[in-house]
Amino acid sequence: MGKWCKSVMAIALLLLLAATGTAFAQEKKPQPKTRILFLLDASGSMLAKWENSDRMVVAKTLLAHLVDSLDRYENLEVALRVYGHQFGRERNDCKDTKLEVPFAENNSAVIKKKLESLIPRGNTPITYSLEQAAGDFPEDRSRNVVILITDGLESCGGDPCAMSEALQRKRIFLRPFIIGIGIEPQFEQQLSCIGQYFNAADVKTFETVLSEIVTQALSETTVSVELLDAQNRPRETGVNMTFVNTLTGEPEYNYVHYLDAKGKADVLDVDALIPYHLQVHTTPAVVERNLKIRPGRHNVIQVKAPQGELYLRQDGPSPYGQLQAIVRQTGSERTLNVQAFGNRHKYLAGTYDLEILSTPRIQLTNVELKSGESNVITIPPPGQLAIPSQMQGYGSVYALAEGGGQRWLLNLPEDNSKVTLALQPGKYKLVYRMKSAQSSKFTFVQDFTIRSGATTTVKIFNR
């Protein structure tokens, strides 16, 4: 093939890559359909007076107006479930709940008509209603939202908080919204554990809360993550990060952090109805728990993540092959990373202990890594021990300390003593007994010295 043809093919390949480059990017997920289930309390207490009307009349009127306004949203369906409205309190029915209007698009007229006919009568089976609500949502992928409007607590002995959490963990619906009407302050905590709680202290507040919840459920929310260095400047980047659902523990979004040419973090879309932890996969990882994300707005999340670089190198060629080092945080026994020599790796600024897997192993403690700086760790190249004797027996190599002690390093192969071993520079001892020797007194002992880059030969003699 001629040079001209190769050049044309190369240009064509570059054009193809340029044209399809966006395919390599993580595409923005298409927005799933949003489904909002209104779970309305129609127990007997909803007949209580509230300002110039009663609680039920206000709830029905404002809910009708809200449902009417939702018709203008695309990709949205709403439904209505009611509890406490089918039987009187004297029956004490704790399964008095019904999906009155199933999910459908543009069904505001149906919901408004149903609201007009509702009369408060019975109990407050919140737990059972939440359980039944799980079956109200179609099984296709959608953003499922529950808005519970109630003036009282569970009256049937159930645990609505546990039920809500279980359904959220199964991803049946997202964190519910709870609107309390006339709830005493001492009882608010019993409702806030179900989901995000709002106290509608008066009619005007109730109207405002309804609008705010719908805005949260349907408006776009964005975040930017700023990774701060030691001077609290947002200069760290290139780090993997994961938005984790705090209830399910599952990852919702995975990104590699990016800064543009002006040093600004990019803008990311998130679903504000999901509670998140943010895992920043530095070494070691940093976790920001329970992110405070304001729905319908742009949020800036700052994470302290100053990093320094550790560069491991060895002068000259290494007979070890790929030499590695175990990296631990100072004072910890847990292995943080196994880093190969010749590689660079970033760690959070701090001090680390290194165990270099040479022979013998080299222990380095309190190695300091500073934010934005590189620390180069260099060790001398090893020498080699060569044993030319081909014997069968039992042998070991010991490292000799300056004070006269010795430390076992390794055993020689029993079937053949002819080996070449890489050892760090220092003083050593070889101890060996042939298999055929009939007594321990025939043990061969030889001190030797290993020099960097040199080979030391030790011959084993019969004794």
- What are the chain's domains? 33-218 (3.40.50.410), 220-304 (2.60.40.1120), 307-379 (2.60.40.1120), 383-457 (2.60.40)
How far is Cα of residue 180 from the mean position of the Cα atoms in its chain? 33
In the block, tokens 């004070």 appear at 403
Q: What is the pLDDT of residue 257?
A: 97
Phi/psi of residue 50, nearest 5 degrees: -145, 110
Residue 274 confidence (pLDDT)? 92
In Å, what is the CA distance from 342 to each residue of 320, 329, 424, 460? 13, 21, 18, 36
pLDDT of res. 29: 60
Sheet harboring 350-356: ordered strands across? 337-340, 324-329, 350-356, 362-369
Phi, psi of 160 (to 5 degrees): -65, -30
Residues sharing a CB contact under 8 Å with residue 117, sequence separation 6 or more, in sequence order:
none
Instruction: State the Cα–Cα distance between residues 326 and 64, nearest whole angstrom.
Output: 65
Q: With 0-12 CB in 10 A as exposed, 13-18 as middle and 19+ as buried, what is 20?
A: exposed
Each of the 463 residues of the chain gets a pLDDT tens digit; together they read 554 444 445 544 444 444 454 445 555 566 789 999 999 999 999 999 999 899 999 999 999 999 999 988 889 999 999 999 999 888 889 999 999 999 998 899 999 999 999 999 999 999 999 999 999 999 888 899 999 999 999 999 999 999 999 999 999 999 899 999 988 888 888 899 999 999 998 999 999 999 999 888 998 999 999 999 999 999 999 999 999 999 899 999 999 999 999 999 999 999 999 999 999 999 999 999 999 999 889 999 999 999 999 999 987 777 787 899 999 999 999 999 999 999 999 999 999 999 999 999 999 999 999 999 999 999 988 999 999 999 999 999 999 998 889 999 999 999 999 999 999 999 999 999 999 999 999 999 999 999 998 999 999 986 5
Q: How far apart are CA 318 and CA 382, in angstroms?
A: 7
CA torsion angle 347 351 355 360 (round to 10): 140
> For position 23, what pLDDT does the model report?
47
pTM assigned to the model: 0.81
Amino acid present at 421: L
H or E stretch covering 67 = helix 55-69
Q: How far apart are the first and last CA of the chain?
A: 70
Phi, psi of 116 (to 5 degrees): -60, -30
